[in-house]
Amino acid sequence: MSDLSDLYQSVILDHNKRPRNRGKLPTANRVASGDNPTCGDNCTVYLQFDGERIGGISFEGSGCAISQASASLMTTQLKGKTPAEAEETYKRFSEIVKTGNAPEDFDELAAFAGVHTFPARIKCATLSWHAALEALKQPETKP
């Protein structure tokens, strides 16, 4: 098990060091922001929604390591998904973060299972996901 937690630790460190899909997405047609005042995190998610699927996704923001790594992971997980699939993925992530119950097979989402022992940080981990789901509900905007 400790090998697995090392592996999960390295997933978070890696997303912190090399955030994926960070910065404005020039082709975005949906955008939403969220913040987490208790920790000082903020996150804006840019989505390119093609009417069926998330064709492109990026984020901008600042805050603690958990919030930034989670935002980076979120973009890699939601790209290519339909809104229903995105919702489903978020539910899985939120369940892991809140309960610490990780699936038996390796799953990048489970890297954040340790967050459940710090209830105040759960909002850090889910901030960007809320923003992404919110962006999907927004009316189309011109970039």
- The amino acid occupying position 124 is C
Nearer to Zn ion, 57 or 124 (CB): 124
Determine what percent of the chain falls in helix, strand and coil, rounding each to the nearest 5.
55, 20, 30
Nearer to Zn ion, 27 or 38 (CB): 38
Give the one residue of 22, 33, 39, 60 binding Zn ion; rule: CB under 5 A: 39
41 binds Zn ion (CB under 5 A): yes
Secondary structure of 81-124 as H, E, C letters = CCHHHHHHHHHHHHHHHHHCCCCCCCCHHHHHHHHHHCHHHHHH
Give the one residue of 4, 14, 64, 122 binding Zn ion; rule: CB under 5 A: 64
67 binds Zn ion (CB under 5 A): yes
Asked whether 100 and 38 are in contact (CB, 8 A), the reply is no
Nearest distance, CB of residue 122 and Zn ion, angstroms: 10
122 binds Zn ion (CB under 5 A): no
* Residue whose tokens read 């973060």: 97
Give the one residue of 45, 54, 124, 125 binding Zn ion; rule: CB under 5 A: 124
Chain residues that interact with Zn ion, rule: CB under 5 A: 39, 41, 63-64, 67, 124
